Structure 1
Amino acid sequence: MKKTRYYPFERNRYFYGKLLTVRDFESEQKYFNDKRRMMNRLLHGSGVMTGLQVIAVDDKSVSVEMGAAIDALGREIIVPSPVTLKLSMMDGFTNNEYAKNVYLCIAYDEKGKEPVHSVANSTVRSDEISEYNRVLESYRLFIREDAPDPSQLPLAELTDQTVVLYQDAQLRVLQTTPRYVNPGQLFEMTLRFEKTLQAGKILFQYDVAADRLEAINGETIQFMEPQELQETEYEMKVLLRADSTASVKGSIGVKPGSAVLRLGDRQLDLTSKDAGEIQIIMGSVADRLMDDFVKHSLEASLDAPSEPCIYLARIGLLQMGPTYVIERVEQVPFGEYVYNSSVMHRLQKAEQDRVDTATGQLITKSKVRSVAPGQPPELKVEFDKASSELSVDLSIPTGGMGIAGIRTGTVDIAIAPFTKISVSPFGKAAKSFFSGEIAHGLGEGNVLIVTSLEESSIDAFSDMLSSSDRVYYGAADVFKGSEFEPDLPDVQIGTIAYPQKGTFRVGVKVQQGTEASNVRIRWWAYTQADSAGNAAIPEIGFKKGKEDPIDAAFSAMMEAASAGSKPEEQE
């Protein structure tokens, strides 16, 4: 079926005595078909609606599952039952090179059905004439060996612009940039590399040629394919910043003479002068994009290739001697899908429910900074209701006699080679090990020592709530048998403080035999001066009338850690 112009629409006008001919009946069908197809194209777009998965059934054949699609002319394509085909027997598959990617496509097709004798034609011709009594709306599967031009894909230029920096039989390099950005906005440019499986590793380096745009991480961009991976497609994000001037056009591309492109041992010649163009505008980008869409002319909205098709799969082939094998099948490689309104509504509702659930969880952020000696400590707490984020900013003096302070550190206590521990008459194994004297740095006087068992090293006070490490407070054996069970010896921890020396000692009692050679203890030392300047052990919690900021911060952090709080961001 050739590409036709749907409008203007004409329908039959019936009246008594009208002579109906073949043209009248064909016009009747064309009127309803053209209206439906135009609405399909304008309301739904084009692409796969359901099914049509492509599966490799053996080394040389694929199966296309049943499904439905709409092509770029709004025509429905229905595959009523699975079909299995050998690649080499399909239209478009050539026999010149097997180490490549090929694309399985589907297109609308019509076939005649039920041949019958034509009485009218037999009156003017002596031989027997037959005509098809039905037209079967069907499909055609075929192979294309070249990737499509990005501009030919449906709505390809609506939100982004993609330019081809390089293309041959084994490699294609694409650059995608947004159509609109705001002045001074940070945004991403995407470099996409599509290659065949047997091609060598990619090395791509060039200097950016930009106008009204700035590359944040430097003007030289480099991509090197990882040695341990073997993929057919890679993406690289490049962070850019737009000029602060509005209502201007920016551009970005490859600076002439700066590009180095290698594919294995092959040096490729990149001569593309194409550049992505970006409009820098004031106001909402989403509103501008929607405005562009609704202002499209009808002709532009219905524009389609002369032979439209849908790319169902990209099939990676490997050359095996004189033949080939199918190595990989990637479904709908260019994202040609049609989503109906019910699906979109459910997806939007599911996303909203996920956001609502996430906002019901408290996310904590903590920052600890040092201030000059003699300055009072400060505690700032902010809560963002929209993101359920609690931010704690604690300023602590650098320390000294008579000034409130907190110190933290770790100590490793060796327990090797005591892997065999004698059993007491009550059946419980136990052996004690001790650290040397530790200077807590708060000077002489009484201090409060808090200890915990640590699985890995943490070097800063603000990191004690990091979700990437585990610090166990209290009895760690309560987690036994769960996913939180520590990979640590079963120990009890005790401390001895030496107020006149400003030091302390940590001891551990190993409850059972273990192969561990040491345990790591995280400690916090806390002191606060009273009104007379003498160090005193404070109460952990709240005071009458006014809350002590260090006490509150320390208590809040301890309670959060004990409750299993896992902050998402730590400064």
Structure 2
Amino acid sequence: MKKSRLYPFERNRYFYGKLLTVRDFESEQKYFNDKRRLLNRLLYGSGVLSGMQVVAVDDKTISVEMGVAIDYIGRELVIPSPVTLKLSMIEGFTNNEYKKNVYLCVAYDEKGKEPVHSVGNSAIRNDEVSEYNRVLESYRLFINEEAPAPSSFEFVRLLENVVTIYEDANVRITQRMPKYVNVGEVVEVKLVVEKTLQTPRIAFQYEYEASGFTSVGHDGTKVVFVEPGDAQETEYAVSFHVKAPQTAGVKAELSVPNQAAKLTIGDSAIPLDTNAKHSIDVLDEPVANRILKDWHERTLEQAVEGAADQSICLAKISLLQMGPTYMIEKVDRVPFDEYIESTSLLQRLAQTSRGSSLNKFYASAETHDLEYDAKPSLDVQYHPDRNEFDFKLGIPRPQHLYDEIATGTMEVALESIGKTGGFFFSRGKKNYVSEEISHGLGEGQVSVVVGLEEVDRTVLADRTSTMKKIYYGQSDVFKGTEFEPDIPNVSLGTIVYPEKGSFRIGMKLQGETESAASVIAVRWWAFKSLGAGQAAPLADDPADEGLSEAAASEQE
């Protein structure tokens, strides 16, 4: 029955006096069965229609609920009542290491029922012969210990381009992307890592090569997968996005060269001996139209008998080794999405989707800080399952002014001053240059502003009031006013050493000056240039001095 052809169709022709034999009655049944199965296969496809849930009863036992499915040549599979079985007693279970994923499958089966005595056969043979009076259309549950290839499913072949990067008994790494793309479309590429629970931690990274495609995202062409240390999963997926070329009618390629890939399983580096490559058609027509064209142009052989021996996978069962035995760790139901949806449900979903959120795109956005001198970054991820774009914008932090200002004081003693001639700083000299002063802002251009500091202390009835004054530029402009300073009239200048991160202060006495002060206090401020690589101007003119003074006051 599994390999029998469902066509062409022949039906009985009845006429008076026809001698009816077993062949005629069998042909009558086959005619109707084969027609129904052909239409099942072509109209509905293959998969679970309802029920057939698989659950773990205990560490070694599973239960399959009642349900209905259609197999890959259109035959109906019916489980009429729940069945509970020990995993080790199911056909095909030969896993002695107890550390693999195993796959519970269901297939069509026929069994004879109601044995009866055959009168015709007894006339030929002396011994008593029995024949089955009924044929029970039943099912068969069995275990496959190897996962089916993704391309073995018809809907995958129609929709996706799948390449295998690495495969052994415990690990399979595939990369999947749409079979067709439109001009300029951003498409998702998915790296899928499948493994057994007992397989050591997996790490895989590579740089893909693109011909026609351009990368989307801040990682460029680099893809990295590192299995979480505490994870207990058997399948992982990492997605990235590429943009299709702007020219239709060409093939765009995406390849994973083995020399650009690094696979580690546990502590072992695994060499890759194959170069995986996608070759994708770039279309200017809707992708759905091209997929429908492929569907319509498939041959009848491909539609009906291409997967005649394929069974329906009801569950992926993950096992853990427990000493000399095993335990069921996890059960994933219908892991390859072999379902059949009702046509009425699909019709209502299509009606609901018209003008609804299924045809709209949504966007979410978040920002994060970058260093103040970094370039802004934008990463865009598309989630096709919910029609959403996720924008992540990196914005450089502003350069805080207080991080680029340093201040300090320097005191210079007056050696001799008075009516006798007003010696300044040292006998016979009116100029003074300080030692090198480190401003603490590091290397680079800085602006240094200096001023003379005066502290005015006023004694009040209950307390002493202190007011600090800083004079910039020529202090003699205040002579004769209530703001006349009690400090010498001094001109100030600076020398900056950008490569050392230091400077010197120079002072010169302007004429003869009488002052009661014995020490001159010089207040300085150093300002780091805000623009990278740009030197801030020295505060030579009053405008610059006023601006620097305002910044210094804010710092105070």
Q: TM-score, normalised by structure 2?
A: 0.62
In 2, Cα distance between equivalents of 1:22 and 1:99? 51
Q: Which whole-Å CA distance do the structure 1 matches of 2:222 and 2:305 have between them?
A: 39
Q: Report what 1:170 is aligned to.
A: 170
Q: Which residue of 2 aligns with 1:263?
A: 265
**Residue number in structure 2 paired with 1:320:** 322
Deviation at 1:306, TM superposition (A): 4.3
In the aligned structure 1, how far is the partner of 2:57 from the partner of 2:353?
36
Match 1:289 to one of 277, 288, 291: 291
Given that residues 183 and 245 in structure 1 are in contact (C-alpha distance below 8 angstroms), is that contact kept between their aligned partners in structure 2? yes
Corresponding residue for residue 149 of structure 1: 149
The aligned runs of 1:368-379 (5 Å cut-off) are none
SS in 2 for 1:40: helix
TM-score (norm 1): 0.61
Task: Give the SS at the match of 2:307.
Answer: coil
Q: Corresponding residue for 1:28? A: 28
Residue 363 of structure 1: how far off its partner (Å): 11
SS in 1 for 2:190: strand
1:312 to partner: Cα distance: 0.3
CA–CA separation in structure 2 for the residues paired with 1:231 and 1:364 = 28
1:49 aligns to what SS in structure 2?
strand
- The Cα of 1:245 is off from its aligned counterpart by 2.1
Indicate conservation of the 8 Å contact 1:55/1:64, yes or no.
yes
Amino acid at match of 1:200: P
Counterpart of 2:129? 129
1:332 pairs, out of 334, 349, 363, with: 334
Partner of 1:425: none
Q: Is the 8 A contact 1:191 1:235 kept in 2?
A: yes
Which segments of 5 or more consecutive residues in structure 2 lack a partner in the other structure? 366-386, 388-556
Which sits farther off after the overlay, 5-14 or 223-232? 223-232
8 Å contact from structure 2 (residues 258, 272) kept in 1: no
**In the TM superposition, what is the alpha-carbon distance from 1:304 to its structure 2 partner?**
3.3
Which residue number corresponds to residue 558 of structure 1?
A: none
Amino acid at match of 1:294: H
Kindly state the Cα deviation for residue 109 of structure 1 after the two structures are TM-superposed: 0.3
Give the superposition deviation at 1:308.
Answer: 2.2
TM-superposed deviation, 1:121: 1.1
The match for 1:347 is 349
CA distance in 2, matches of 1:13, 1:358: 58
Query: Shift of residue 253 of structure 1?
Result: 2.5
Shift of 1:33: 0.4
One-letter identity of the residue aligned with 2:346 = M
Distance 1:203-1:82 versus aligned 2 partners, 3 A rule: same
1:380-391 correspondence to structure 2 within 5 Å: none
**Residue 96 (structure 1) aligns with:** 96
**Higher mean Cα deviation, 48-57 or 285-294?**
285-294
One-letter amino acid of the structure 2 residue matched with residue 23 of structure 1: R
Amino acid at match of 1:148: P
Q: Matched residues in 2 for 1:158 and 1:357: separation?
A: 22
- Counterparts of 2:95 and 2:203, CA distance in 1: 30
CA distance in 1, matches of 2:16, 2:252: 66
Question: CA, structure 1 residues 181+141, in 2 after alignment: closer, same or farther (shift >3 Å)?
Answer: same
Q: CA contact under 8 A between 1:150 and 1:163: conserved in structure 2?
A: no
- Answer yes or no: is the 8 Å Cα contact 2:68–2:76 preserved in 1: yes
Gapped runs of 5+ residues in structure 1?
Answer: 366-386, 388-571
CA drift at 1:345: 2.7
1:220-252 C-alpha deviation (Å, 9 max, x unpaired): 221112234321111111211122222111222
CA gap of 1:364–1:208, structure 2 versus 1, over 3 A, is closer
Q: Distance in 2 between matches of 1:107 and 1:56?
A: 21
Question: What is residue 500 of structure 1 aligned with on the other side?
Answer: none
Q: Distance in 2 between matches of 1:26 and 1:357?
A: 52
Q: Deviations over 1:124-170 (max 9, x none)?
A: 11111111110000000000000001121132211112122111222
Structure 1 residues 51-90: aligned runs within 5 Å:
51-90=51-90
Q: Distance in 1 between matches of 2:306 and 2:62?
A: 28
CA distance in 1: counterparts of 2:304 and 2:47, whole angstroms: 14
What one-letter code is carried by the residue in structure 1 that aligns with 2:329?
E
Q: In the superposition, relative to structure 1, how do residues 54 and 353 fare at CA in structure 2: closer, same or farther (>3 Å)? A: farther
- For 1:356 and 1:171, the matched residues in 2 are separated by 36
Asked whether the 8 Å contact 1:72–1:154 carries over to 2, the reply is no
Q: CA RMSD in A?
A: 2.6
* Cα shift at 1:324: 0.3
Provide closer, same or farther for how the CA distance between residues 114 and 235 of structure 1 changes in structure 2, counting only shifts above 3 A.
Answer: same
Q: Which residue of 2 aligns with 1:273?
A: 275
Structure-2 separation of matches of 1:160 and 1:253: 15
Return closer, same or farther for 1:240/1:355 CA change in 2, 3 Å cut-off: closer
SS in 2 for 1:42: helix
1:224 equivalent in structure 2: 226
| Superposition pairs of residues 295-310 of structure 1, within 5 angstroms | 295-310=297-312
Larger CA deviation: 300-309 vs 122-131: 300-309
Letter in 1 for 2:312: I
Larger Rg: 2
AA aligned to 1:21 is T
Distance 1:184 1:292 in 2: 22
Report the equivalent of 2:249.
247
Residue number in structure 1 paired with 2:203 = 203
Change (3 A) 1:95 1:188: closer
Query: What letter is aligned with 1:246?
Result: A
CA distance in 2, matches of 1:38, 1:203: 46
- In the alignment of these two chains, the number of paired residues is 366
Tell whether the 8 Å contact from 2:73 to 2:308 is kept in structure 1 after alignment: no
- Write the letter of the residue equivalent to 1:149: A
